[in-house]
Amino acid sequence: MMSKPRVALIGLGLMGTGMARRLLGAGFPLTVYNRNPERAAPLADEGAHVAASPREAAARADVVLSMVSDDVAARAVWLGEQGALAGAARGTVLVDCSTVSVAWIEELSRAAAAAGCPLLDAPVTGSKPQAAAGELLFLVGGSADALEIARPALAVMSRAIVHVGATGAGALLKLVNNFLCGVQAASLAEAITLIEKAGLDRTKALEVLTTGAPGSPLVKTLAARMTARDYTPNFSLRLAAKDMNYAVGEGKRHGVTLSTVGPVLGRYEQAIAGGHGEEDFSVVVEPLRKG
């Protein structure tokens, strides 16, 4: 049997920690890096090597994954003297799993090509529970050959891997996905607020909505969170707003106006200004309840 590729994982937030544990559980030699080293300590106890920099992490790997918050964080971990690209040997497969802009993926792709490293943009759908359970869906842009090298590592973290096209296609589809999710969440928040303020039986009303045509998996999940007022973060409001802003930017690049996003971002920004930015994005309902 061929040995498992050495993997580096950069970024140990809500998603990255669960992903790292899936890799360790499947027996992959794993190096991790996180800006806050305290997050990495439990993984060291479970068998991961903790690197002092992204450069060191990449130097120990055949496949390098990143899972960070945005373009700024991605640029910080990939580029520069201590960035992962500086430590990666030629032929190392680079995989950006973060939700970032297509413009950033194009920039990183050029830098990776100059270093002789194939790049995959492979953002995921799913949140903290799916990362921990190995049930993410990877949306992959880039070469099929590079994907086959990375596939064994991605497989243990996922329920499916979809190769959606050339470089940047995964990043773009993820932004479309999150744009739709963000609009749904804001619509649901307004619907629940109307139900509550009009004095309808909320339990019966939500049963009709969640089991009928509006009842997408997201609506069902967020309806439960909004009803319980449990905003433990699975996907933070701040990051949801960031993704919708990125989606608006991609729309402009292609001559498409995402006209529903403006009012939705207004709702999100109101909640962020109220101190809810690090809570789950279902918290967008709370300013409406108070209004």
Are 244 and 268 a contacting pair, CB within 8 Å?
Answer: yes
- 243-246 — which CB contacts under 8 Å span 24+ positions? 243/99, 243/174, 243/175, 243/178, 243/179, 243/182, 244/178, 244/179, 244/182, 244/268, 246/71, 246/99, 246/100, 246/101, 246/175
Per the annotation, the verdict on 174 as an active-site residue is: yes
For the chain, the DSSP string reads -PPPPPEEEE--STTHHHHHHHHHHTT--EEEE-SSGGGTHHHHHTTPEEPSSHHHHHHT-SEEEE--SSHHHHHHHHSSTTSHHHHPPTTPEEEE-S---HHHHHHHHHHHHHTT--EEE--EE--HHHHHHT-EEEEEES-HHHHHHHHHHHHTTEEEEEEEESTTHHHHHHHHHHHHHHHHHHHHHHHHHHHHHHT--HHHHHHHHHHSTT--HHHHHHHHHHHHT----SSBHHHHHHHHHHHHHHHHHTT---TTHHHHHHHHHHHIIIIITTSBGGGGHHHHHH-
Would you say 154 and 162 are in contact if contact means Cβ atoms under 8 Å apart? no
4, 128, 174, 252: the catalytic one is 174
**Would you name the residues annotated as active-site residues?**
174
